[in-house]
Structures are given as C-alpha cells and as structure tokens.
Structure 1
Amino acid sequence: MPPRTLLLLAFLSLPILLLTSHAQKPHNTSLCTTSSCGTTTITYPFRLRSDPPDCGFPDPFFALECHTNSPIITIGSQHYNVQAITYGNYSIRLTDPGITPGNYSTCPTYPSLDYGNSSQYMTSVYIYNIYFAFITCSRPVNNPAYVANPSCGNATAFPNASQVYGYVAENVNAYNNLDKSCVVDKEVHASSATPFEVRTYPYSTIHDFLSHGFEFSWYQVYCGDCNPANGRCSVENGKVRCRHYCFEHTPLSERSFRCKLEYYYPYIFLIILPAIGKIQFNPDEFVNDKSTNLLNFGLLPRWNLTAEMLVWSFICCCRSAVQKKKAARRCFHGGRRR
C-alpha cells in the first residue's frame, strides 16, 4: 500500500479514536479472601468490618457487619438489612429492619432514608421507584387514596387523642390529599425492574413491596477519574465503561488534550491535505483474493474516490454518529449547534 495512502487512512482514523470508550480497571483483590454472612457473598467493593481495609472500597458505606447470619449496612445512624448483593449488575438491595416478610403487623423503623449520609458512590438502580407515606390521623378519614393500617399509627403524633388511626398512601396522594387531622409519620420506598401500576394497593401488597426492599447501584466505585475528566461513566454489557465528551461551553484553555485535538482537527486537515495530494482509491489495495473475485464478478462496485470525497464522506458519518449519541459536542468545529 502506498505510503501516502497509509498516511491518509491514519489521519481518517483519528475521529474514531476520539469517539471510543474504555473499560475501567478493576480493583486488585488478589490478596483478599471472599467473606460471607449467611448466604450472602461479600467481596470487593464490600467487606466485613473484620476484614482488612484494603479488601473493600475506602468508604465507610461499604464496610458491612454480620449479625446472626444477616449482613447489615450503615447509612448515617440507620442500619438496614442487606437482602442481596448482585455483583453482575453492581447492585445491592436493602430493607428496613422493622419490616418482617409475611408479618403484616410490622412497621418501618426509620421515618425516611438518610440520603444526606448515604455514599456518593451509590445511585438508584431502577427508574421505577414507588414511595409510600405512613400517615397518622387523630380521627377516621374517608379517603380512597388512604389504605387502612391499624398497626403503624404513631400515638405520639397526637398525645391528647384517645385513639389514633394509621393509613398508608403513595407519597403524591398523601401530600395532595392530606387531611387536616393527619400528619405524615414515615416515608419509605421500594424499587422494581418493571413499572408499578397506577392504582391503590391493598396493605398486604404494599408490605410485600417493602419486604422486597429498595436497590442501589455501586458501579461508581469503578469510575475512578472518569467524571472529573468530563467523562460519562455507565454500565454497558455488564462492564463499567467511561466515555469522554467534549462540551462546547467549556473554554478551550480548560479542555483536555483530546478535546483540543478534536477542536483543531479540521484545521490540521486543511493544512496536510495539500501535502497528501489527490490519491486515487483503488479497492483492490484493501481486499484479499476472495473479495477481489467478487469485484471481478461485478458484485462490488469498482469506484475511484479522491481523497477529498473520502474525507468528507467520513466527516458526514462522524457527524451522524455523534447526533445519535445525543451528546453536547461537535464532530467538526464550525458546524451548526445541535
């Protein structure tokens, strides 16, 4: 293959390198042993508090305790039961310690999840979350959005009342239709991989939702310096990957070397194109014998493309790929703002 052709192909491959992502490196735990608590396997980024600190992610959130064969996670001053840790999708499922599966007289312990003390490395797994409000009233309330729950009424909410009445409702319904004789005592939520039906659930179903628990994802522990470097970290095909984007609103002086190179790419192209000259593109230079036979039979077109045609076709493909990614960036500086 002629050297000038190789030079052109190398230059054309530059945008592809700018658009690619890379997998984040896993933590080296070769010197650590896998722990367990009951039926739950505990390994990086989690560890038992009795394990060496290097065997878990350096955040107190990931240090678990084991009580009567049940793993416990601490969020601020709250302690939740760990129902499952799924390492394949980087998730952990938690339940309130006051909820006992099948025992519908049990009530949540905590008034709400202490998000202020949760780890920055934890994010919601599912987009489908349902929030329930436990309500205490000083008198009976006839509201179709309220589900009677006599076991979880909070007598301290109305100390002068001879009797209190407990209800459960979805958060939105609770606040939009809150009776003057009622207060919201607790707010809890559950997660699901499928959408929740928009209807009033019986309390047994609500209790089953809470018994299943709510889930967090901890894939952020593998993101490293991806986010600080204007990257977007996500899980793709079971692996944590980092994609870097160049944003138009970022001043050129603050952009990374890769983004500066993307910015100057068309200008570099205009400079080196005269040096490369017009190169006739012959498909026979890039195919093997079997493909060449297809060319001879007329099954593949035999085109002669100049360097300019090849470059501008490639730029159009590049711009289309970027638009599909819906990223706030340009494939080619000087193009119209998306």
Structure 2
Amino acid sequence: MAAGRVSVPSRLIVLVTVLGLYCGTFSAKDDDHHRCEPSSCGEIQNISYPFRLKHDPEKCGDKMHELSCENNITVLYLYSGKYYVQAINYNNYTIRVVDANVDEGNCSSIPRDSLTGYNYHHQDPYSFQNSDKIELSKPIIFITCKTPVNSPLYVETAPCTDAISSPSSALPHSQGHSFVMVGHVNASDLRELCRVELMVRTSWPGTKGTNLSYIDIHNELVYGFELSWLQSYDRGRKGSICYVNNDTNKVDCAYDCSYGWSQPNHCGMDIKENLSHL
C-alpha cells in the first residue's frame, strides 16, 4: 500500500454513492416544488408550499394540500365537508377554516357535518393538535332534549331555536329544546332525554367562561377552527416524529422512541434530511 493512502472497502463506496444519489434526488425534488411563485385567491394572497390551488402546475405544492378557488374564495374540501379558508399561518404551520354553511349574518346557520378527533388518523394531512400535542380548537356540541335543562353548561339556542329545529336545517329530525355545550364534557354531563346532534370545532380565542349566549357561540363558529399540517411531514417516514424546532422555527424529524426500533441507538436521533424548506 502506498504511503498516505487508505483502502476503502468497495461496499462502502457503493453505499456512499447510493446515499448521495438519494439525497440529491430528495433535494432536487423539493427545490423543484418550491420554485413556484405563490398563488392567490381572494383574501388569501400567499398560497405556497405545501399548499397549491387546483389548477396550479403539477410541480407546485403537495396534492394532499390542494385548495380550490371558487367565486374568489379559497376552499378546502375535507372529508365530506366544504370549508372556506380564513388564514394560512406559515410560522406555526396552521390553516384556519370555517364551515361553508355558516353565515355570519344568520345565527340559524350551522355546520352540516360533524367533525371531531375521531375523523382523523395519523396518515391524514391535518391534525387538531400542534407539534406540542396541544389542541388547536375546542368542541361545540349541539344537543336536543325533550325537557328543559337548567344548567350553566347548557346554552339555549334562542333566538335561533325555531330555525335550527326546522326541516331545512342541519338537524331536521330534532324535536324539543335545543342547546349547545362548549368545550370537552363528561358523559355524566349529558342529561336524560337528551341526545347529541352535531359536534364541530372552534378556535375562537376571545369569549371565556360559562356566561355565554348563543350569539357568542355562533360568532365562534364564524371564526372557524385551526388545523395543523405539520404531521404530513412525517407521513412516509415510518417510525418518525416531526416537530417545530423552537430555535429555528423549522421542522425537524427524529426517530420516534415509542416505535420500537431494532437499533436502539437510533432512538431520539435526528433524521438527516433536507428539511430546510419546511
């Protein structure tokens, strides 16, 4: 062996070459998706990665986060629901939406479909929680009871009771007294002869306490609710968890210690990928 030269196993050379090609492909693909100029629709002016509008070039954004522009309004279709986009926050990776059936000037307008944590699973593009597993919204629960209920937890839907109970509303078969409960409740809070009709969400930060009117609660529906798109980044990275680095406000991903890695030394280690665009 010549002085100063180190023999490198051929298998290692092949491995390094393959990894280099993989990383190059990963970076080039992401760069390609981020060369697109931001789109706009109505009041939402900066629609950029991971979002895209339906008719944007194929290379732009992520199909899992595709939005529509309808009558100059940005629209998100999620499960069976249609939602109007109110804001996109690229600093905390959230999007705020409101059910398309909710009208600010009509207190009898309510969402048509329930939306709860049960709708979601890990592979979905959105979540009710942020990177710290803190809920971004609280539930609003519509209830009908055959008899009156005297409880601060139960807010009467008056002056919109008749409209909400009408055949044209989202609660066509409801009879009796209509109430709304805000926030998480226990099964014991549900009175006899009462049933849950609809469960929706709100991220309204203003009104607090139990002294609410139904108009206050309808304003919360008008404000809408936030969803995080952060979890979409660990989709496809089996056994990983992605989070916002507080120092850089960028997304980092690490091997999830609860996943049960065959190599324990991987637990908690950062996954070395080009995530600078997130």
TM-score (norm 2): 0.67
Kindly tell me: are residues 175 and 78 of structure 1, through their superposed partners in 2, closer, same or farther at Cα, counting changes over 3 Å? same
One-letter code of the match for 1:96?
D
In the other structure, the counterpart of 1:182 is: 194
Q: Give the Cα separation in 1 of the matches to 2:141 and 2:122.
A: 21
Structure 1 position 44 matched with structure 2 position 52? no
In the other structure, the counterpart of 2:225 is: 214
In the other structure, the counterpart of 1:147 is: 155
> Partner of 1:85: helix, strand, or coil?
strand
In the other structure, the counterpart of 1:111 is: 114
Q: Give the Cα separation in 2 of the matches to 1:116 and 1:221.
A: 12
- Assess if the C-alpha contact under 8 Å between 2:99 and 2:111 holds in 1: yes
Given candidates 235, 239, 242, the residue that maps to 1:233 is 242
Gaps of at least 5 residues in structure 1 are 1-23, 159-163, 263-326, 329-338
Q: Identity percentage over the alignment?
A: 29
Kindly tell me: are residues 220 and 202 of structure 1, through their superposed partners in 2, closer, same or farther at Cα, counting changes over 3 Å? same
The alpha-carbon deviation at position 198 of structure 1 amounts to 4.7
In the other structure, the counterpart of 2:61 is: 56
CA deviations over 1:216-271 (Å, ceiling 9, x no partner): 1112344476x52x5432111321112347x59947xx217xx27x9xxxxxxxxx
Q: Give the Cα separation in 2 of the matches to 1:244 and 1:119.
A: 17
The alpha-carbon deviation at position 168 of structure 1 amounts to 0.7
CA RMSD of aligned residues (A): 3.4
Count of residues in Structure 1 that have an aligned counterpart in Structure 2: 225
Between Structure 1 and Structure 2, whose CA radius of gyration is higher? 1
In the other structure, the counterpart of 1:76 is: 79
Q: Give the Cα separation in 1 of the matches to 2:241 and 2:183.
A: 32
The alpha-carbon deviation at position 146 of structure 1 amounts to 1.2
Kindly tell me: are residues 97 and 127 of structure 1, through their superposed partners in 2, closer, same or farther at Cα, counting changes over 3 Å? same
The alpha-carbon deviation at position 183 of structure 1 amounts to 1.8
- Assess if the C-alpha contact under 8 Å between 1:45 and 1:221 holds in 2: no
Q: Where do residues 1-338 of structure 1 align in structure 2 (5 Å cutoff)?
A: 27-28=30-31, 29-40=33-44, 41-59=46-64, 62-113=65-116, 115-116=119-120, 120-123=124-127, 124-125=129-130, 126-127=134-135, 129-149=137-157, 150=161, 151-153=163-165, 154-158=171-175, 164-170=176-182, 172-173=184-185, 175-191=187-203, 197-223=208-234, 227-228=237-238, 230-236=239-245, 237-244=248-255, 247=257, 250=260, 254-255=262-263, 259=265
The alpha-carbon deviation at position 117 of structure 1 amounts to 8.1
